[in-house]
Amino acid sequence: MIKSENINIALVIGAVLTITSFVPVIQIIMLYANGGFLYTFEAILNTSDYSLLNYVNLLFGILSLIAFYFAKKIGFKILWAIANVFFSNGFIILLEMGYTKGGDTEPYFLGFLISGILAIIPLLVTGIIKENTFDKISNLD
């Protein structure tokens, strides 16, 4: 029996990000919070190079993805999924719109839509892998 909650969590968060990209209040709040998070590391590392600081987002995104994979309770799965989307979305937005280019996408929602979809893909793949792994383990019993 497959527990589909791992995939459902990723799909629900992806749907919320996709729908709200047309009025990107959630994404803008996440970006401001992510900027505050990166400012902490900017002070610690004594650098203002955003391309270097963006790898902090990548590191924490990978760590939260690993924590999502190993989480047993649904509350922790949701918490780690939201943390993963927070860091992954920040990473992708900084890569996509970047501080070096200084550009923005022509339709305002396109950048948020693309980053929301790309931020969900690793979470969705991790959920599918986790469910297939647990399905094979349960068949061994």
Where do the domains of the chain lie?
A: 5-135
The predicted-structure confidence for 13-40, as pLDDT tens digits, reads as follows 999 988 988 888 888 899 899 989 999 9
**CA–CA separation, 84 and 6 (whole Å):** 13
Whether the predicted pLDDT of 115 surpasses 70 = yes
- Which amino acid appears at position 92 of this protein? I
Query: Is pLDDT of 1 > 50?
Result: no
For residue 98, what are the contacts with CB-CB under 8 A and spacing of at least 6? 50
111 vs 88: which has the higher pLDDT: 88
| pLDDT for the residue 97 | 67
Amino acid at 118: L
pLDDT at 137: 62
pTM of the model: 0.83
Please report which confidence band the pLDDT of residue 136 belongs to, taking 50, 70 and 90 as the band edges: low
